[in-house]
């Protein structure tokens, strides 16, 4: 439950008393013991003899503070300083204000709490911690209020235009009358069982004023109504008659209960939230008003009510008089009550005599609909009731301090729906409601409708002080001329009448209000039954001007686009003439802190610079809201621009804003050049609802995203294979080649640690199904960002929603415009998904291990770029050397020695392939082919003895030698399972040297003689086949390749790295590379292309080039 600032200060004083008492008692006793003070003198400081007879530890905060102040020099200055003495003095003042029940603002309450806490801290009292908690809570409440205020302020500040030049703001040329500038037009609403509370019955939360306000959140609209009521019954101002129709916060009767309890005589300091109401109203105290409660469905028109004093009451006015002043007041209108005739001016006299008074009338329609046309009931006839309503409202207005609040059903009677009949009561009820609304809404008698030109002057004279200084007329004329010239130079952007000279004169006559506002009010709004041509314009424009004046509007004219519809007072005036369901339309699509126009302006700087979307939305609402039931709906786009564009601004900017609004708004319709708001949602709303419904069908969204992922992953980049969205490790084979595993949307990544992506990746890395995974160094993982996944999900749901709408366009009976709109929105949503998919799947999770003994760690790499996901992933991995598509033999030698990977003096190629696929501390290779190429290139190096390794077919364990040992030559490797060996170079050289030496050593002949190589062979030598002639090495290479014309740079770079570089690296090799270009152009090359290609070819030193005509 909410607590007031008054309660907070009271709690602080209680804590102060508890914490201060032991200290004060201790110090006083010490002073008495030292004969510095006598107990008699101490008790003399207490006015209450009962309190004086108690121990000091039981004294209240006021007595303790007074004792400290009076005995400061004798006692407390020894332990406390001047700062603490000042705190004692200050807290005494706060305590006196609290005792006199004065209201506390948040600033005052915080200061009192802070001072009490500081004093308790000075005496080391533990209660200072409790006060600190109260302070923290108060700061939180203040912060929440400020945050709400800033949010309202961001949407509620005056809109600045892009006007340049010497056009003065209207506020510097003309001044509103004081009552307009100060603002006196308030409206708000509320609901509960008012009659039960009036009888003293019901539950405490409704019956007890303190408890009621503790449980009631004061909305801005309710607070505004209470402020107006306080002003009306205290300082003056505020509406004398308030009609409650719409439900803000607690409903109609709840609002009445708030008023009922506010003037119950309870001190405002005891009512939560009323401090701010009192401050806004400029009042310090509240009167105990005489309260009258009339609830139509609790009073029978056919049965007289007998009061405790014996008074018999027949009519509503009799009940009103008796509640107001008892038998004495009732006697004044007893004759009218008995005859059931409406009273006259006696009501005003009663209101003045028994004022201040508060009259609350609820369920009047329920009472009136029971009356008959003939006066055959004690309460009178049907007609008499509305005569009484008019007398009542006029009397309340003329009385000095009377507030009349009337509640009427907030239903749209034009449709006469079944729900209306239930609330209003059929035909009779609707008739009573219409007539009561007309009477209460008008308050004053109507007069002859004024013409538009008369309306200009009426409004100007009533709302503004007259222009008297010639400089004012000059400034006005300069503004009128600037607007007229602007309309003439931009004729295609504005209606035809704007270019006429007469329009400039109209601007002068209407100044500082743009004629378009009057045209809309007198042409469109005046067609509404409830809208009075002159008084309605006056009421509306008074609120508009007050709002703009209050916000510091500095535009040269007040255009429809400047009408602050986000201001609750303006909004109330604009909706009171329309059906009650316009408020959500305004809040969502027209104006307000959470409205679409404000959102678009904040997202698009070129529009936000001029608040273009908000101004467009306001202009459309002002021009279209009254026309929703008309045959020709809406306002033309040129008239929208007329209502918001000013000299110095580009109409095209507002045209762009109009197009964006039409594409995104829920309640904005378009038919050709005409735009209008409706209370029925457009197809956009239908799409929003379907997108929201898809939140409960995540499988459909996941299937759509999976389909798009698979399409994107068709471009595999440098990965031999990709595994999209595996359900478990069993879906990812345990192979030798590297793979990219793309985790599903249900496994997003976040930096918080132990994210779903990391957990899923670890599970797949460690196991394939129920068996441990062997080849772990082949896997890297791509995961979605947890935060951005929400945006992707939203875009996908919107796309599916629009797709479903188009699929059902015949069943939904969509108009051609709506079909076009749906197709456009589907395309936009499709583009949004395509754009957000790579933005979402931006995390590469790479398992790494620095040494064989180190634990496995996960490195998260953020992807960027515009390529396909797999292409971006492979590029990033290559850049960071976490994924190799080529492997230098020298680096392979380093890895063989570093780990080491040798098994003795050699290692099998097959084993080496498995090692690189298994162990995370080794480089991650694209495939076994990369390793086989590195082995082949390493064996072929001329410097293999130093930089790489040798190669052997096998090892003869018995002879202790390698078969087919070779180095510095090309070798052929069939596949990753080849049985050949990679041999340590020093071991290979040792064997080769030994075999070479053995070849140079003489061998024994058959008869015991020695034979050296080169000597004549012995007789009868053994038959040995001659060695085959050495194979001639290839000495020339030639190759031809056709490149993709769209990707020549990429392919040429790859050819240079993988072919040309190997040839150019051979000693003595001469490599020539020629590029031959041939283009067939069936339609012929344009002259500019011929000229560009010819000039560039010469610059690039082509040996030959030219175009041919045949």
pLDDT score for 753: 75
Instruction: Say how far apart CA 616 and CA 665 lie, in whole Å.
Output: 12
Asked if the model's pLDDT at residue 962 lies above 50, the reply is yes
Q: Is residue 407 within 8 Å of residue 363, measured between CB atoms?
A: yes
| β-strands 739-742, 779-783 pairing | parallel
Give the Cα separation of 724 and 747 in Å (integer).
12
**Per the domain annotation, does 1025 fall within a domain?**
no
Instruction: Confirm if 193 and 259 have CB atoms less than 8 A apart.
Output: no
Name the phi and psi angles at 861, rounded to 5. -115, 130
Q: What is the mean pLDDT of residues 471-477?
A: 91
Q: Could you give the CA distance from residue 941 to residue 945 in angstroms, rounded to a whole number?
A: 9
- Per the structure, the complete domain to which residue 272 belongs is given by 185-287
**Rg of the chain on CA atoms, in Å:** 46
Q: CA-CA distance, 894 to 878, in Å (whole number)?
A: 19
- % of the chain at pLDDT higher than 70: 87
Query: Among candidates 734, 723, 719, 732, which has minimal Cα distance to 775?
Result: 734
The helices-and-strands tally (H runs, E runs) of the chain is: 47, 23
- Say if residue 308 is in the same domain as residue 417: yes
Q: ∠ CA 145-149-150 to the nearest 5 degrees?
A: 120
Is 551 found in the same domain as 524? yes
**1104 within domain boundaries:** no
- 314-329 pLDDT per residue, tens: 888 888 889 888 888 8
Average pLDDT, integer, range 385-402: 86
Q: What is the pLDDT of residue 1006?
A: 46
CA distance 711 to 833: 13
Each residue's pLDDT tens digit, 854-878: 899 999 999 988 889 999 999 999 9
Question: In DSSP terms, which residues pair with 783 in a beta bridge?
Answer: 843
**Residues 1081 and 963 placed together within one structural domain of the fold:** no
pLDDT of residue 154: 46
Strand, coil or helix: what is 10?
helix
Q: Is the domain of 214 the same as that of 271?
A: yes
CA distance 637 to 640: 5
**Is the pLDDT reported for residue 525 higher than 60?**
yes
| Three-state DSSP state, 956 | strand
Residue 463 lies in a domain: yes
Q: Looking at residue 107, what is its pLDDT?
A: 79
pLDDT in tens, 941-958: 988 888 999 999 999 888
Give the per-residue pLDDT at 156.
54
Residue whose tokens read 């109504």: 225
Tally of domains in the chain = 7
915-939 residues labelled b (16+ CB within 10 A) or e (exposed): bbbeebbbbbbbbbbbbbbbbebbb
Cα(934)–Cα(885) distance, rounded to whole angstroms? 11
pLDDT, one tens digit per residue, over 98-157 is 988 888 888 788 889 989 988 888 777 888 888 888 888 887 777 666 545 544 554 455
Specify the DSSP element, H or E, that contains 756: helix 756-766
Residue with tokens 């001639």: 1032
Q: Are residues 621 and 705 in the same domain?
A: no
Least trusted range by pLDDT, from 130-134, 146-150, 207-211, 428-432: 146-150
C-beta neighbour count of 692 within 10 angstroms? 11
Same domain membership, residue 545 and residue 600: yes
Please tell me the predicted confidence (pLDDT) of residue 162. Answer: 61
Longest dimension (CA), the chain: 167
The CA–CA distances, whole Å, from 959 to 343, 506, 954, 962, 967 equal 134, 117, 12, 9, 20
Q: Sign of the CA dihedral 46, 48, 49, 52?
A: negative
Averaged pLDDT for residues 406-418: 54
- Lowest average pLDDT, out of 287-301, 833-847, 1055-1069, goes to 1055-1069
Average pLDDT over residues 1059-1065: 76
Task: Say whether both 991 and 1051 belong to one domain.
Answer: no
What integer pLDDT is reported at residue 250 of this predicted model? 35
Q: Is 70 exceeded by the pLDDT of residue 246?
A: no
Q: Is 120 within a domain?
A: yes
Mean pLDDT of 269-290: 86
Residue 446 has pLDDT above 60, yes or no: no
pLDDT in tens, 247-261: 323 357 778 888 999
DSSP state, residue 206 = H
Using the 3D structure, point to which of 790, 821, 841 is the last residue of a domain. 841
Digit-coded pLDDT (tens) for 808-830: 888 888 878 788 888 888 898 99
pLDDT band at 534 (very low <50, low <70, confident <90, very high): low
Same-domain pairing of 379 and 456: no
Of residues 71 and 577, the one with the higher pLDDT is: 71
Residue-wise pLDDT for 614-638, tens only, equals: 999 999 999 888 877 676 788 899 9
Higher pLDDT, 978 or 480: 480
pLDDT in tens, 587-610: 899 998 889 999 999 999 889 889
Return the structure tokens found at 305. 């009510």
Weakest mean pLDDT among 79-93, 734-748, 1042-1056: 1042-1056
Q: Which of 117-121, 489-493, 580-584, 912-916 is predicted with the least confidence, judged by mean pLDDT?
A: 580-584
Give 1030's pLDDT tier (boundaries 50, 70, 90).
Answer: low
906 CB-contact burial (10 Å; exposed 0-12 / middle 13-18 / buried 19+): buried
- Residue 265 falls inside a structural domain: yes
User: Do 415 and 563 lie in a common domain?
Assistant: no
**Residue 29 confidence (pLDDT):** 84
Residue 1027, in any domain of the structure: no
Indicate the pLDDT class of residue 1110, thresholds 50, 70 and 90. low
Domain closes at, from 393, 412, 443: 443
Please give the Cα distance from 357 to 292 (Å, whole number): 8
pLDDT cut 90: percent of the chain above it: 24
| 855 lies in some domain | no
Confidence of residue 413 (pLDDT cuts 50, 70, 90): very low
What are the φ and ψ backbone dihedral angles of 257, each rounded to 5 degrees?
-65, -35
165 in a structural domain? no
Predicted confidence band at 488 (pLDDT cuts at 50, 70, 90)? very high
Region 327-332: mean pLDDT is 87
Q: Which two tokens stand for residue 329?
A: 């007041």
Per-position b or e across 245-266, b if 16+ CB within 10 A of its CB: bbbbbbbbbbbbbbbbbbbbeb
| pLDDT value at 1019 more than 50 | no
**Of 99 and 431, which is predicted with more confidence?**
99
Same domain? 438 vs 485: no
pLDDT digits (tens, 9 = 90+) for 638-686: 999 999 999 989 999 999 999 989 878 888 888 888 899 888 778 887 8
Most confident by average pLDDT, 669-673, 964-968, 1004-1008: 964-968
Q: Give pLDDT, residue 524.
A: 84
Answering whether pTM is above 0.75, one says no
In this prediction, residue 495 carries a pLDDT of: 92
Q: Which among 287, 320, 336 is the end of a domain?
A: 287
Cα distances (Å, whole numbers) of residue 1012 to 778, 942, 961, 1018 = 57, 31, 25, 11
Q: What angle do CA 86, 88, 93 make, to 5 degrees?
A: 95
Say whether both 531 and 664 belong to one domain: yes
Dihedral sign computed on CA atoms, order 75, 81, 86, 91: negative
Alpha carbons 768 and 765: distance in angstroms, whole number: 8
Structure tokens at 591: 């104006």
- Shared domain for 247 and 314, answered yes or no, is no
The encoded tokens of residue 15 equal 């804590």
DSSP β-ladder status, 312-313 and 635-636: unpaired
pLDDT for residue 249: 30
Give the pLDDT confidence score for residue 314 in this predicted structure. 87
pLDDT of residue 412: 47
* Least confident piece of the model among 461-475, 530-544, 962-976, 1005-1019: 1005-1019
Whether 1052 has a pLDDT exceeding 60, the answer reads yes
Q: What is the pLDDT of residue 803?
A: 92
């Amino acid at each position: 439950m909410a607590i007031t600032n008054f309660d907070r200060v009271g709690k602080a004083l209680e804590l102060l008393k508890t914490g201060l008492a032991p200290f004060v008692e201790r110090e006083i006793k010490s002073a008495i013991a030292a004969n510095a003070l006598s107990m008699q003198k101490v008790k003399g400081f207490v006015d209450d003899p009962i309190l004086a007879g108690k121990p000091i530890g039981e004294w209240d905060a006021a007595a303790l503070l007074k004792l400290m102040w009076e005995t400061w020099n004798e006692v407390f200055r020894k332990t406390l300083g001047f700062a603490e003495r000042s705190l004692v003095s200050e807290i005494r003042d706060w305590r006196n204000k609290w005792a006199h029940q004065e209201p506390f603002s948040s600033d005052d309450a915080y200061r009192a709490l802070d001072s009490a806490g500081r004093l308790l801290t000075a005496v080391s009292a533990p209660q200072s911690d409790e006060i600190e908690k109260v302070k923290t809570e108060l700061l939180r409440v203040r912060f929440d209020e400020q945050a709400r205020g800033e949010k309202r302020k961001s949407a509620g500040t005056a809109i600045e235009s892009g006007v340049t030049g010497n056009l003065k703001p209207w506020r510097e040329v003309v001044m509103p009358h004081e009552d307009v500038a100060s603002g006196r037009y308030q409206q708000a609403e509320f609901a509960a069982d008012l009659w039960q509370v009036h009888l003293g019955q019901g539950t405490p939360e409704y019956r007890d004023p303190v408890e009621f306000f503790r449980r009631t959140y004061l909305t801005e609209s309710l607070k505004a109504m209470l402020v107006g009521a306080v002003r009306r019954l205290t300082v003056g101002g505020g509406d004398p008659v308030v009609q409650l129709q719409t439900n803000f916060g607690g409903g109609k009767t709840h609002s009445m209960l708030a008023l009922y309890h506010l003037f119950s005589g309870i001190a405002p300091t005891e009512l939560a939230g009323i401090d701010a109401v009192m401050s806004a109203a400029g009042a310090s105290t509240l009167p105990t008003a005489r309260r009258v409660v009339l609830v139509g469905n609790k009073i029978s028109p056919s049965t007289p009510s007998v009061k405790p004093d014996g008074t018999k009451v027949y009519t509503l006015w009799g009940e009103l008089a008796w509640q107001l002043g008892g038998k004495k007041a009732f006697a004044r209108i007893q004759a009218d009550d008995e005859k059931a005739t409406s009273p006259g001016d006696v009501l005003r006299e009663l209101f003045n005599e028994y004022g201040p008074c508060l009259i609350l009338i609820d369920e009047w329609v329920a009472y009136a609909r029971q009356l008959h046309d003939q006066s055959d009931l004690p309460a009178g006839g049907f007609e008499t009731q509305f005569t009484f309503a008019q007398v009542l409202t006029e009397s309340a207005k003329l009385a000095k301090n009377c507030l009349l609040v009337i509640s009427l059903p907030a239903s749209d009677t034009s449709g006469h729906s079944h729900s209306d009949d239930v609330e209003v009561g059929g035909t009779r009820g609707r008739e009573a409601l219409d007539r009561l609304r007309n009477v209460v809404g008008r308050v004053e008698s109507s007069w002859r409708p004024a013409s538009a030109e008369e309306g200009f002057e009426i409004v100007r004279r009533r709302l503004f002080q007259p222009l008297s200084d010639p400089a004012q007329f000059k400034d006005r004329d300069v503004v009128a001329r600037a607007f007229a010239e602007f309309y003439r130079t931009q004729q295609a952007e504005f209606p035809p009448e704007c270019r006429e000279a007469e329009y400039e004169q109209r601007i002068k006559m209407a100044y500082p209000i743009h004629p378009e506002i009057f045209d809309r009010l007198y042409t469109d709004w005046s067609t509404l039954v409830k809208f009075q041509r002159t008084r309605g314009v006056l009421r509306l424009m008074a609120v508009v001007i007050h709002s703009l004046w209050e916000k510091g509007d500095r535009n040269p004219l007040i255009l429809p686009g400047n009408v602050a519809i986000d201001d609750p007072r303006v909004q109330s005036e604009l909706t009171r003439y329309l059906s009650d369901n316009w408020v959500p339309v305004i809040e969502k699509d027209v104006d307000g802190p959470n409205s679409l126009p404000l959102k678009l302006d904040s997202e698009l700087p070129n529009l936000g610079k001029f608040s273009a979307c908000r101004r467009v939305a306001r202009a459309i609402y002002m021009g279209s809201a009254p026309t929703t039931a008309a045959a020709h709906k809406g306002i033309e786009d040129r008239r929208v621009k007329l209502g918001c564009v000013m000299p110095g601004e580009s109409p095209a900017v507002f045209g762009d804003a109009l197009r964006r609004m039409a594409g995104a708004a829920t309640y904005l319709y378009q038919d050709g050049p005409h735009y209008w708001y409706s209370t029925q949602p457009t197809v956009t709303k239908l799409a929003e609802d379907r997108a929201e419904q898809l939140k409960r069908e995540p499988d459909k969204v996941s299937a759509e995203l999976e389909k798009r992922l698979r399409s994107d992953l068709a471009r595999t980049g440098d990965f031999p294979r990709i595994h999209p969205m595996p359900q478990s490790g069993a879906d990812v084979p345990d192979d030798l080649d590297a793979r990219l595993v793309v985790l599903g949307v249900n496994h997003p990544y976040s930096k918080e640690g132990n994210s779903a992506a990391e957990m899923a990746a670890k599970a797949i890395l460690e196991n394939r199904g129920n068996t441990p995974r062997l080849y772990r160094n082949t896997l890297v993982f791509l995961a979605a960002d947890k935060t951005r996944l929400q945006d992707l999900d939203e875009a996908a749901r919107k796309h599916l929603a629009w797709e479903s709408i188009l699929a059902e366009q015949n069943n939904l009976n969509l108009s051609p415009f709506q079909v076009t709109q749906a197709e456009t929105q589907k395309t936009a949503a499709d583009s949004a998904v395509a754009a957000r998919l790579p933005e979402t799947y931006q995390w590469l999770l790479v398992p790494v291990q620095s040494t064989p003994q180190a634990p496995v760690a996960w490195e998260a790499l953020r992807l960027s770029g515009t390529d396909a996901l797999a292409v971006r992933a492979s590029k990033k991995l290559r850049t960071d050397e976490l994924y190799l598509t080529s492997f230098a033999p020298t680096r392979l030698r380093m890895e063989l020695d570093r780990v080491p990977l040798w098994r003795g003096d050699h290692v099998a190629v097959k084993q080496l392939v498995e090692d690189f696929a298994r162990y995370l501390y080794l480089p991650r290779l694209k495939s076994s082919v990369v390793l086989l190429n590195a082995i082949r290139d390493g064996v072929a190096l001329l410097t293999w003895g130093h930089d790489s390794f040798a190669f052997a077919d096998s090892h003869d364990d018995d002879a202790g030698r390698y078969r087919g040992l070779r180095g510095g030559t090309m070798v052929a490797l069939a596949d990753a399972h080849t049985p050949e060996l990679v041999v340590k170079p020093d071991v290979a050289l040792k064997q080769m040297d030994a075999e070479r030496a053995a070849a140079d050593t003489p061998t024994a002949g058959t008869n015991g003689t020695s034979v050296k190589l080169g000597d004549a062979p012995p007789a009868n030598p053994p038959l040995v086949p001659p060695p085959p002639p050495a194979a001639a090495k290839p000495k020339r290479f030639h190759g031809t390749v056709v490149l993709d014309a769209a990707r020549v740079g990429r392919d040429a770079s790859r050819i240079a790295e993988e072919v040309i570089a190997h040839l150019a690296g051979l000693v003595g090799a001469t490599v020539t590379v020629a590029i031959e270009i041939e283009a067939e152009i069936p339609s012929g090359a344009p002259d500019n292309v011929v000229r560009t290609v010819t000039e560039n070819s010469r610059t690039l030193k082509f040996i030959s080039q030219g175009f041919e005509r045949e």
